Amino acid sequence: MPDPVLGKSPPRPRWDNKLMTWSRFLKLRKWAKTVYERTGYHVYLVGSVLTKARPRDIDIAVLVPDAEYRAKYGDTLPGRDDPNRDAWFKDNFPFYHEAMDAITWKVTFVDVKLCSDAWWPEKDRLLLY
């Protein structure tokens, strides 16, 4: 199965490129623990937050076992016309809001995605929980 192609959101100057602090990391780790306890899915920091002190946003992957992900959502991130799109967004939405609550709204944008654990295995991931 090919990895999905991810697009970029438009710039958000008020939210982008904020310092990734130890405090934010600990708050996200606490949130990740609640996600794991509810779902059994591991939560990882991914993307530029692993290499930049001031990442554009904080990318987080909630990794779902591949067979479970494919059974529920298909083979990739749902596109605009995908019949699984509504279910994926409904399942993803609480994670996003909870992560934003954890680091306090209007400070930094958190990009949380439910992903198959088979995607991007060669990319760096930092386990939050």
- Four-CA torsion 42, 46, 52, 58, nearest 10 degrees: -80
Percentage of the chain beyond pLDDT 90 is: 61
Write down the pTM of the prediction: 0.88
> Within 10 A of 40 (CB to CB), how many other CB atoms are there?
10
Please determine, for residue 81, whether its predicted confidence score (pLDDT) is greater than 90: no
Please determine, for residue 1, whether its predicted confidence score (pLDDT) is greater than 70: no
Query: Which residue ranges form the domains of the chain, and what is each CATH number?
Result: 22-127 (3.30.460)
Task: Compute φ and ψ for 63, nearest 5 degrees.
Answer: -90, 120
The more confident residue out of 18 and 82 is 18
Q: Average the pLDDT over 67-93 and give the result.
A: 87
